[in-house]
Amino acid sequence: MSDVDFSVEKYEKHRHAGEILAEVRDEAAERVEVGVSHLEIAEWAEDRIRELGGKPAFPVNISIDEEAAHATPSIDDEATFGEELVNLDIGVSIDGWLADTAVTVNLSGHDELTEASEEALDAALEIVEPGVETGEIGRVVEETIDGYGFNPVVNLTGHGLGQYEQHTEPNIPNRAVSQSATLSAGDVVAIEPFATDGAGKVREGSDEEIFALDREGSVRNRRARQALEQITEEFKTLPFATRWLDVKRPSMALKRLKRNDIVHGYPVLKEEAGKYVSQKEHTIIVTDDGCEVTTRSR
């Protein structure tokens, strides 16, 4: 037995974030249908998180077909769902303590690809316990996805979750690696297999709607200054969307902040062969004898 006290406030807040997130993820997924607006789903989910007592840990990601991550609607986005593979990636923060989850809503008929990432996550969760190497988790993910005849996306990983830090050590690979970290009781991590019928790697696209603060700084432009005040007070170091900023011409304000190396953007990540990507993700607390899944459906 470890000497970790799983009843301390940090873990209670991770759990609370996970409870809210499980409910919002399931409700949001049910609302994804052909003809429904991307912006409507994103704003509904973000508002619902706030209603339930949390804050969005990052903008709701809505990735379509070959997109794997970092896609979120713009301010006046008019896109609607078609017969597509839709990945919803959603996060909740309670005082900076996080939960992160993702699910693929299959409107495209790619049943086996959707199932491959789900099964890979289930297989990974079964082997989690203190002392397990993250490379071993990657091996199980890779073998499960290979068993369906698909490839894992190897340059995307799961990750640790810190206070106001969405991606911390350890990385949880989606393939077998020889050198990796060892999980310990008390670790809070997100495991997120991505499966594809493509090459198994993503590349950066040109679109950016999600940003995060790199450092505090000063800018002359009034709107950029107003945007920076909101970012540092409201979002801190967590990612935010252009559409969340309460300034006129937020894209211009962000360009100035980016030029001054105060914020950085997250380009949309796409499967490099242009093929489909499915994703499934849970947040877990590593316990003395396994793991507690904080984002499981209640």
Distance CA 90, CA 99 (A): 9
Helix, strand or coil, per DSSP, at residue 4: coil
Query: Is 38 one of the catalytic residues?
Result: no
Query: Is 192 one of the catalytic residues?
Result: yes
Exactly one of 192, 197, 208, 209 is catalytic; name it: 192
CB of 4 within 8 A of CB of 185? yes
Distance CA 196, CA 86 (A): 13
Query: Is 281 one of the catalytic residues?
Result: yes
Please, where are the H alpha helices in the chain?
9-31, 38-51, 111-127, 134-147, 222-230, 250-259
Query: Is 89 one of the catalytic residues?
Result: yes
Q: What is the distance in angstroms between the CA of the first residue and the CA of the last residue of the chain?
A: 28
Interhelix angle for 111-127 vs 134-147, to 10°?
Answer: 150
Exactly one of 115, 118, 167, 272 is catalytic; name it: 167
Exactly one of 19, 65, 89, 142 is catalytic; name it: 89
Exactly one of 46, 67, 281, 282 is catalytic; name it: 281
Please, where are the H alpha helices in 35-193?
38-51, 111-127, 134-147
Exactly one of 19, 84, 100, 209 is catalytic; name it: 100
Catalytic residues: 89, 100, 159, 167, 192, 281
